[in-house]
Amino acid sequence: MQIAIGDLERRRFESVEVLVDTGATYHRAPEVAAPGTGHRPTPDSSFVLADGRRVERSLGRAWIRFEAQEEFSLVVFGDDALLGAVTLEEFCLAPDPGAQRLVPVPALMMRIAA
């Protein structure tokens, strides 16, 4: 699936092919996407892989465009491109594995009883 990563001013976007991974917390993008969009990722942050190993990766925020919608989201730079759970929730989307597409879902909100 195609998404785009935008510069901080939302003037220039770079197209990126991504896989959807609901097991990943954040959107991941190749390191080469960071300089091209003017992002300055933070020093390495620690992440746990599915096999339990810890890795260090650069973390930053970027504009993500999917179809006609744009969201400012956390991005882990330095790996294969994946669309993670946080970005999916920001876009109010969920995977439909049978149709191999993303579908709109209602945003959920909890109400605290008085």
* Closest to 78 in 3D by CA, of 51, 52, 57, 109: 57
Taking domain 2-104, whether its CATH number is 2.40.30.10 is answered by: no
Share of the chain above pLDDT 70, in %: 89
Mean pLDDT across the chain, nearest whole number?
A: 87
Provide the 10 A C-beta neighbour count for residue 23: 8
How much is the average pLDDT of 85-114?
92
Instruction: Kindly indicate the confidence band of residue 36, based on its pLDDT and cuts at 50, 70 and 90.
Output: low
Partners of 96 in beta bridges? 101
Question: What's the pTM value of the predicted model, to 2 decimals?
Answer: 0.82
Instruction: Kindly indicate the confidence band of residue 80, based on its pLDDT and cuts at 50, 70 and 90.
Output: confident
Tokens of 50: 């599915």
How much is the average pLDDT of 99-103?
94
Domain boundaries, given as residue ranges, for the chain? 2-104
4-34 residue pLDDT tens: 988 888 888 888 899 999 999 999 988 766 5
